[in-house]
Chains A and B, each alone.
Chain A
């Protein structure tokens, strides 16, 4: 039997979000992570109204940047807080291969982050259910994963 499902990504796992941020060039050492929301800072060190539990400090964002935040929402998902300036921040020097070619922290950057998040989420989900990955490839910016289901009668 065959079944096809398309799943819209929701950033619901803090662990996978942190792994995705690391892929995008922001390891744990470059983040401020707290259990309670902290105020974001603007490019002059000013305290902003917005708060977040996961923060990329402005000095790691690049140029005259503001903090970037990820705030835990009421539904348990994480929402990104990126200033308009940083969405087009041309001083952002993306060194991660996954962020190469992104203009600042634009929609493209966010989509790449979502893709890395999905990748880690898929791998964690498969691993926790005892599946092993047979093959993993990338083509035209998309990630393909083949999983063995022999133990499930396939």
Chain B
């Protein structure tokens, strides 16, 4: 599921859950590209616990 929240400043928060890895990233990238400038991007806590090393490496690249 994709959960989208548009806050009172008009910024969009996108959370993609339960989608296989590569598809999840590609899906997020497509949505973000359509919406505007990315300010913050990270894997959710649930996923961080699942694969800490991979997440740390990915977040470190940002």
Question: Which A residues fall within an 8 A CB radius of B?
Answer: 1-10, 12, 111-119, 121-122, 124-126, 128-129, 131, 134, 140-149, 152-154
A117 to B12, alpha carbons, bound, how many Å? 11
Contact A2 B43 (CB under 8 A): yes
| Given known A125-B31, A129-B30, A141-B8, contact A6–B1 (CB-CB < 8 A) | no
**Closest approach, in angstroms, between the C-beta of B43 and any C-beta of chain A?**
6
Name the contact of A147 in the complex, choosing from B1, B6, B10, B30 (C-beta under 8 A). B1
A140 to B21, alpha carbons, bound, how many Å? 33
A2 to B18, alpha carbons, bound, how many Å? 6
Contact B38 A6 (CB under 8 A): yes
**Closest approach, in angstroms, between the C-beta of A130 and any C-beta of chain B?**
11
A98 to B35, alpha carbons, bound, how many Å? 21
Which chain A residue has the least Cβ–Cβ distance from B24?
A: A1
Q: How many contacting A-B pairs (Cβ < 8 A)?
A: 158
**Closest approach, in angstroms, between the C-beta of B5 and any C-beta of chain A?**
5
Q: How large is the interface on B (under 10, 10 to 19, 20 to 34, 35 or more residues)?
A: 35 or more
**Closest approach, in angstroms, between the C-beta of A86 and any C-beta of chain B?**
20
Contact B11 A2 (CB under 8 A): no
Main secondary structure of the interface of A (DSSP, over half): mixed
- Tell me which residues across on chain A come within 8 A of B20, comparing CB atoms: 1, 152-153
A30 to B37, alpha carbons, bound, how many Å? 30
- Tell me which residues across on chain B come within 8 A of A153, comparing CB atoms: 19-20, 23
Which chain A residue has the least Cβ–Cβ distance from B58?
A: A3
Contact B41 A4 (CB under 8 A): yes
A117 to B18, alpha carbons, bound, how many Å? 28
| Given known A3-B25, A7-B36, contact A142–B7 (CB-CB < 8 A) | yes
Most buried by A among B7, B17, B30: B7
12 more A-B contacts (CB under 8 A) besides A1-B18, A3-B42, A4-B14?
A3-B15, A3-B25, A3-B43, A6-B41, A7-B13, A7-B32, A9-B9, A10-B36, A118-B10, A122-B12, A125-B31, A147-B2
